[in-house]
Amino acid sequence: MPELANALANPLDVLVAGELYADLIMSGFDFWPLPGQESFATQFHREVGGGAANTACALARLGSRAAVFGIVGADGDWLIQQLSVHAVDTSHITRDPVEPTAFTVAITTPEDRTFFTYSGANRGFAQSLVRASAENRLPPARHIHLAFSPNLASAPKLLAAFRARGCTVSLDVGWHEDWLRDPRVRDLLPLLDIFFPNESEAAALTGESEPAAMLRWFAATGLPMAVVKLGPAGACLLREGQVLTVPPPPVIAIDTTGAGDCFNAGFLQAWMQGDPPETCLRAGNICGALSTQAYGGVVGMPGPERFHQLLKAYP
Measuring CA to CA, how many Å separate 268 from each of 37, 70, 194, 272? 43, 20, 9, 6
Fold that domain 13-19+50-93+122-312 belongs to in CATH:
UDP-N-acetylmuramoyl-L-alanine:D-glutamate ligase (3.40.1190)
pLDDT category, 256, cuts 50, 70, 90? confident
The amino acid present at 149, given as its one-letter code, is S
Q: Can you give the pLDDT at residue 3?
A: 46
Which residues are 22's β-sheet partners?
Answer: 48, 103
Q: Can you give the pLDDT at residue 4?
A: 44
pLDDT category, 5, cuts 50, 70, 90? very low
* Residue 239 and residue 30 in contact, taking contact as beta carbons nearer than 8 Å: no
Q: Please give the Cα distance from 225 to 219 (Å, whole number).
A: 7
Across 288-295, average pLDDT: 89
Q: What is the Cα 215 distance to its own chain's centre?
A: 20
Q: Can you give the pLDDT at residue 6?
A: 47
- Among residues 117, 103, 85, the alpha carbon closest in space to that of 46 is found at 103
- Among residues 117, 61, 24, the alpha carbon closest in space to that of 291 is found at 61
pTM score, two decimals? 0.90
Q: Please give the Cα distance from 141 to 169 (Å, whole number).
A: 10
Q: Please give the Cα distance from 23 to 66 (Å, whole number).
A: 21
pLDDT category, 254, cuts 50, 70, 90? confident
Across 127-156, average pLDDT: 96
Which bin fits 268, alpha (ψ -120 to 50), beta or left (φ > 0)? Answer: alpha
Q: Please give the Cα distance from 280 to 61 (Å, whole number).
A: 17
Residue ranges per structural domain of the chain: 13-19+50-93+122-312
* Residue 23 and residue 46 in contact, taking contact as beta carbons nearer than 8 Å: yes
Measuring CA to CA, how many Å separate 187 from each of 20, 58, 155? 27, 30, 10
Q: Please give the Cα distance from 223 to 268 (Å, whole number).
A: 17
Q: What is the pLDDT of residues 36-81, one digit of tens each?
A: 999 999 999 888 888 999 999 999 999 999 999 999 999 999 999 9
- Please determine, for residue 314, whether its predicted confidence score (pLDDT) is greater than 90: no
Q: At 271, give phi and psi (nearest 5°).
A: -65, -40
Q: Please give the Cα distance from 130 to 151 (Å, whole number).
A: 10
The secondary structure of the chain in percent helix, strand, coil, rounded to multiples of 5, reads 40, 25, 35
- Please determine, for residue 305, whether its predicted confidence score (pLDDT) is greater than 60: yes
pLDDT category, 9, cuts 50, 70, 90? low
* Residue 246 and residue 285 in contact, taking contact as beta carbons nearer than 8 Å: yes
Q: Can you give the pLDDT at residue 1?
A: 41
pLDDT category, 123, cuts 50, 70, 90? very high
- Please determine, for residue 10, whether its predicted confidence score (pLDDT) is greater than 70: yes
Across 145-151, average pLDDT: 97
Q: Please give the Cα distance from 109 to 253 (Å, whole number).
A: 9
- Please determine, for residue 240, whether its predicted confidence score (pLDDT) is greater than 80: yes
* Residue 303 and residue 61 in contact, taking contact as beta carbons nearer than 8 Å: yes
Across 230-253, average pLDDT: 93
Determine which of 126-135, 137-146, 253-262, 266-275 has the lowest per-residue pLDDT on average: 253-262
* Residue 95 and residue 72 in contact, taking contact as beta carbons nearer than 8 Å: yes
- Among residues 249, 268, 311, the alpha carbon closest in space to that of 55 is found at 268
Q: Can you give the pLDDT at residue 294?
A: 85
In this predicted model, which residue has the larger pLDDT, 198 or 297?
198
Q: What is the Cα 5 distance to its own chain's centre?
A: 30
- Please determine, for residue 297, whether its predicted confidence score (pLDDT) is greater than 90: no
